[in-house]
Structure 1
């Protein structure tokens, strides 16, 4: 067995070194020629001077109003109808307040349990978002003018809610996320 391997290897190498092996190498090249247009020269602009004559005070027409011609606001009995903003107007309205994200859940059914633990002093929202093609539901609590107010509010939350690790979020960043669905819970 030990003798067969070297003999086979020698025969294989001898077959690879034959002189009848030829290789044809072909190449193809092309040349592209571009015609460059002449640059456009800018024409000189000329300014024409004209004389300006001022209108004298005597030539100006004078209009006098009499008391009959003065406009008086007409009293109308028509009521003014105030319409709520359209969806486009609501989408354009930036909100620069801050809120607390209490926690994020993968099931909507558990939201009411956690939302009930929050006091009724501040508004509570549910925000649905999609992460890795999975729905997630976040509980947002409060409406604060500055991030400092929101951070101070975290310290006022009950200890079991603080254990969830709430953090400050900008309402504007939530509204401008890919697919915000804010729903007020209280």
Structure 2
């Protein structure tokens, strides 16, 4: 076989294999499960969806502050705490959800209004590089999975901002700024 023929065969082989990685592949969906294991035929199969019955009754929110519903309120009107005062009694092995970080307080109130339930909401205010930052955390959950489940119960507008589980160990490690408990 000549050098040109070997190169052509190699090139054709690579082109054929590149088709296997095509985005048109029915298996390029994030879930690959062999549905037949006979040595020749593997098919993509979506795992069955888990159905969780909706039996939870959400009580009306308990809001300790008029901050969320009062357009004239400011965080400075609320009682501030140190990180240790706010989170000192919470085990570092527990989790919360960081739902937002904003540089302006005026956007904060409207964002918090659709969040219902009785889980606590804290705002951690601090200055970073000369700018104010307001990090909003929500809830006190025993596990990271519980925090992830809580994210699924938040309004779509809140979920769209990309909330994520955060350990109280990480929250407690940040000693800067002031903490305000809004609920």
- TM-score normalised to the size of structure 1? 0.47
Of structures 1 and 2, the one with the larger relative CO (CA 8 A, separation 6+) is: 2
Q: Which has the larger radius of gyration?
A: 1
- TM-score normalised to the size of structure 2? 0.48
